[in-house]
Structure 1
């Protein structure tokens, strides 16, 4: 009696079913990508169009709308103001939050509930409520602060705090900064040397991700700016809103600013994914090396 045994491996039917199971996921990815990118590509094409009448694509292309936009002083001022505000908020948040999170991990874990509660507030309360609450407080105790750029910076820092905190907390937990600090100090390194030479290189991706997210939040925020200072401090988002409400709005220039806003947001998103992916790979490699 002869017995036959199938060769080890996957059958053609099993392989085919696995390939087919991936099709819905790929189709969903393509659909979502098209849903996000097609409107933005249409806006970009409109900013480059000479005329766009009844055809699917513009009748012609030109860079004159971009040149006119950057020649406009209001356009340049708004863009530069928004970039400087976002950079300032990102740097200030990193300088404020990083020492607090490091202290939480190394010296005083008891402050974790306090920091986590503060990080949850922007998610629990609408920005409009936070803005009017700040107006009430400053009206009673700091009337000179109302309508100032400093108030906008403080509120943007408060909103971005959540994202910076979670990015740094995760990065420091993954790097085990407490063990690194103890090992470095045991070897005779000063606290400054420990932070500069040991801690910062290990939490670099977390710092970068937190800064990028803080930048993006400040750059794309409109509710706080509109309520706290209004058009006296016009940012990109407020500029777009005012242009849409204007009776003589130049929609080509509006398309240029919208395209810039999209590309800045896209670059920030790619940056966050890149640095987070790099941190995950380094953590995985270090874990494999330890076995």
Structure 2
């Protein structure tokens, strides 16, 4: 009997993850035979869990909160986008037994924005809320789209300024505190904090969103997040959450592992249809 190729997502917590279902749908669609499971892995057990998984025949891993920085450290080789983000969400076993680390979050976000929602990034004024790992993973792919400006706002100002400085090569990106956003407007506001899932929001000034502006929360839920609701209340042309990004980054990981690129739209539509109206 042929043993199934094994994949998994590690996280803590991880029970809520939609990734196993997404990858099963991809496998059915593309005629691939594989197994994809979840594993709750606290940070202090991460390295031993990774070693055990691959020693037991595992082929690839996804890593989510709070393990992406640890995954970056355990990868033997990293893609350029993983190097830039200093975080890895995808580990792939190579033919020589080494582990390749990649970060598919940024390309997943950009693909969802451009391909699924027809949002123009080139020449736009962009704001990222938060200067943590989620922000770090999306900055380089966004800058590749040539926005007019990209601002990172964070409660701890120094953290935003330092993060912007890491990516700045032509003065198109800057970091600041939330109070510095007064009297500024943005065409696209990206929430890269997890606060809105618990009903919290940064102190956002009125008039921050430009006319026909778009709001996008990297987090997602069965009901609209606090930031998605904020966007609706502030008359956003579109106020979206990160479900599409989740599917798109998963498709990129699937391609890295299997060499086949699944169609994402039917999966996104199915998952959307199952959410509360």
What TM-score do you get using the length of structure 1 for normalisation?
Answer: 0.21
Q: 1 or 2 for the larger relative contact order (CA 8 Å, sep ≥6)?
A: 1
Name the structure where strand makes up a greater proportion of residues.
2
Going by fraction, where is helix more abundant, 1 or 2? 1
